[in-house]
Structure 1
Amino acid sequence: MIVYRLSRGPYRNDLSGRGAEIAGGRWNSKGTAILYTSESIALCTVEIAVHMPLGIIPKDYYLVRIEIPDTASIKELSEADLPPDWKSFPHANSTQEIGDAFVQEAGQLVLKVPSATVQGNFNFLVNPRHADFHQVKVVETILFEFDKRLFVKE
Structure 2
Amino acid sequence: MTLLPIGLGGTELVAWRLDQAVHAPTWDSGEGAYRVGGRWNSKGVRAVYCSLDPATAILEVAVHKGFRSLDTVAHIMTAAVIGDAGDVHVLDPGSVPNPNWLRPGIPGAGQQAFGDDLLQRHRFVAIPSAVSSHSWNLIFLAGSGTGPYALKFQEAFALDTRLHPPAA
CA distance, structure 1, for counterparts of residue 78 and residue 51 of structure 2: 10
TM-score by length of 1: 0.85
User: What SS does the corresponding residue of 1:134 show, helix, strand or coil?
Assistant: coil
Tell me the alpha carbon deviations over residues 75-108 of structure 1, each in whole angstroms, 9 at most, x when there is no partner. Answer: 21122111122024122333211221123x3x32
Number of residue pairs matched? 150
| Aligned-CA RMSD value | 2.1
Assess if the C-alpha contact under 8 Å between 1:35 and 1:125 holds in 2. Answer: yes
* Unpaired stretches in structure 1, ≥5 consecutive residues: none
Deviations 1:18-57 (A, max 9, x none): 2211121111111111110101110011101110157544
Q: CA deviation at 1:3?
A: 1.0
- Assess if the C-alpha contact under 8 Å between 2:87 and 2:124 holds in 1: yes
Instruction: List, as ranges, runs of 4+ consecutive aligned residues in structure 1 with deviation greater than 6 Å.
Output: none
Task: Name the residue aligned to 1:39.
Answer: 52
Percent of aligned pairs sharing the same letter: 25
Return the letter of the residue paired with 2:34.
Answer: E
Structure 2 residue matching 1:90: 3-state secondary structure? coil
Matched AA of 1:20: A
TM-score scaled by structure 2? 0.78
Out of 111, 120, 142, the position equivalent to 1:95 is 111
Q: Which amino acid aligns with 1:89?
A: G
Distance 1:92 1:121 in 2: 22
User: What SS does the aligned partner of 2:139 have?
Assistant: strand
